[in-house]
Structure 1
Amino acid sequence: MDVNGSLQDVNVTSSIFQYGTRRNVASWQTVTAAVCLSPIIVLGVIGNLFSLLVWIKGRRRKTSTARYLSALALADILVLLLPAAEFWVFYVLHVDLRAKSWFLCKFYSYLTYLTPVTSAWILVAVTVERAMSVWIPHRINVECTIHSSSLIKNSFVVWLVLDLCLFFIIPFGIMLFCNISIMAKVVCLANARRNTLQARGGQTTAPRGGRSQKMLKTVTRRIIVLSVTYCVCNAPLAIYNLILISDGADDILNSEHIAGYRIVFHILMFLNNGVNFLLYCMIGSGFRKDFVGMFKSGSRTSTTR
């Protein structure tokens, strides 16, 4: 998403389109960006680095899911260091990096779209893989391999409508469908297992499952939480941009509030790229053990997640 927003924002933030690299930004925008975005960038980069280390050093490092999540961590780091950092420099330091040179203008214009789209589609890929592992578990090792996870490439243009489709609308639809199918399959399996246990003698509690079953539940729960977080954090900005390009934008949005919407929704979008490490720690005990194990001398991260 472009840090400079839509052309319909000209009347509200005309300072964006002034000549030169210095910008006159409202004080409340500077404070908001400094207080909210600074910890997101710093802690997000550190957290994603830790996540990357866990995924490439843990016991499950050879699985396609670990490769996808490693790629997701790298993509999130790039989002935080490039678009998010440019956004921070603009609103906190009042410097427009794109106005400094033709190269920086093209560089940030391209990567502002590339990095978030890449992050979104990596999450789509791992969500599809998780849905396949639930519905066709016997073929998951054939269809979702490390080799196939390295073949995903994204191509896109910088048009706003296409950006919305690639960054949110299409990923949101795919993830919504996959997560609904996962939950439906889980409910069906739980009902079938309960009926089987009752038919065998009225047993109402399932026997203790193996480690692989527990890991499957943890991984599935992790992917669902990541998908939901993505949708919650990115939906406001996507809806905002859809309204801006609609014919009734002037009737829906108050021009005095457009600048506030833009900065808040962008910060929320960047939050999605910085919060995954905390989600991993909250969901999986194996991830926490692997993370702690990296700091123990002479120990190896060999726990499952």
Structure 2
Amino acid sequence: MDTITNRTLSSNETSSNVTTINILDPNTSKLTYNIWLHGGIFLIVLGTIGNSLSLAVMMRKNLRRHTTALYLMVLAVVDTAVLYNWFVRNWTYAISGIDTRLLSVASCKIHTFCSYFFVDFESWILVLVSFERLFAVFAPHRVRNIFTKKSAIIQITATGVFLVIVNLHFFWTQDLENGVCDAIERRYMYFSRVWNWIDFVICSFAPFAVMLSSNVAIITRLVYLQKTKKQSSTNKRNNTMTLTL
């Protein structure tokens, strides 16, 4: 391949207006190219093996009965989808100069949708795990009644359906024209700019805020329980000494 782009394509980019340079030119683009060419396949293989091992462990009989294992199994599958959706596109582009998103109108719409949906889904599965941990600390005697396999499946399905609906707009807002996969029609251009902020909230800020709050609450609760237990032990020891005297 004689030329490469001066930047790699991220999973959320929707434009392909790039400047080509000579591959032998000693600059950062050459480094980026070599990273994708030689490291991309390694990351795909490593990620696939890691997620496959996670699935194998979580599917063991003694773990399958726990709802957390179900969340983590789905997470491993979605994480693999994110890996292939993003790395395969970039790796293919690095070795051949072909952007799979730009092969057709269908690939433009489907790949853009998948790029957003899988990452969103991954974030919110972690939120579901955080909720279960929160209930396990604050209501340990009720958590098994609340977080059953059936309820976990309902939660995962509802989350997936919600995120599909949120990202479904790509099938009519995105289009392929003159080698550009983007919001081509004028009426969608403003929404495309606003969408970046909406996606930031859905994919990053909201999950981060929920998980941070959950972890802070869990830590606070555990510290309180530890202090209560220590105080109870001290009082019990003092009462025993008093009775002895």
Provide TM-score, normalisation by structure 2: 0.70
**Matching residue of 1:240:** none
1:161-190 residue CA offsets vs partner (Å, 9 max, x unmatched): 222111101101100100111111111111
Answer yes or no: is 1:106 the counterpart of 2:109: yes
Displacement of 1:87 in angstroms is: 2.4
- Equivalent residues in 2 for 1:150-189 (5 A)? 150-151=153-154, 152=156, 153=160, 154-155=162-163, 156-157=166-167, 159-189=195-225
Letter aligned with residue 164 of structure 1: F
Give the 5 Å matches for 1:265-280.
none
- In structure 1, what is the Cα distance between the partners aligned to 2:211 and 2:34? 35
Higher relative contact order (CA 8 A, sep 6+): 1
Query: Aligned partner of 1:31: which letter?
Result: N
Q: How much has 1:70 moved relative to structure 2?
A: 0.7
User: In structure 1, what is the equivalent of residue 186 of structure 2?
Assistant: none
Compared CA separation, residues 38 and 184, structure 1 to 2 (3 A): farther
User: Could you tell me how far apart the structure 2 residues matched to 1:135 and 1:111 are?
Assistant: 36
Map Cα deviations across residues 264-305 of structure 1 (whole Å, 9 max, x no partner).
Answer: xxxxxxxxxxxxxxxxxxxxxxxxxxxxxxxxxxxxxxxxxx
Report if the CA contact (8 A) 2:14-2:112 is conserved. no
CA RMSD after TM alignment: 2.4
2:36 touches 2:91 (CA, 8 Å); kept in 1? yes
Q: Which runs of 5+ in 2 are unaligned?
A: 1-8, 21-27, 171-194, 239-245
Larger fraction in strand: 2
**1:47-58 residue pairs with structure 2 within 5 A?**
47-58=50-61
Q: What are the equivalent positions in structure 2 for 1:92-241 lying under 5 Å apart?
A: 92-151=95-154, 152=156, 153=160, 154-155=162-163, 156-157=166-167, 159-201=195-237
C-alpha separation between the residues in 2 aligned to 1:176 and 1:149?
21
Question: Offset at 1:55?
Answer: 0.7
Per the alignment, residue 5 of structure 1 pairs with 13
Q: Contact 2:127–2:207 at 8 Å: present in 1 too?
A: yes
> After superposition, what is the alpha-carbon deviation per residue over 1:26-65, rounded to whole angstroms, capped at 9, x for unaligned?
3121123345544332111111111111111240211111
* Residue ranges of structure 1 left out of the alignment (5+ in a row): 16-24, 203-305
SS, match of residue 200 in structure 1: helix
Q: Percent identity?
A: 27
When residues 187 and 59 of structure 1 are mapped into structure 2, their CA distance, relative to the original with a 3 A threshold, is same
Question: What residue number does 2:45 align with?
Answer: 42
Do the aligned partners of residues 200 and 38 (structure 1) sit closer, same or farther apart at CA in structure 2, a change above 3 Å counting?
A: farther
Q: TM-score, normalised by structure 1?
A: 0.57
Counterpart among 86, 89, 93 of residue 90 in structure 1: 93
* Contact 1:82 1:111 survives alignment (8 Å): yes
Task: Quote the offset at 1:197 in angstroms.
Answer: 2.2
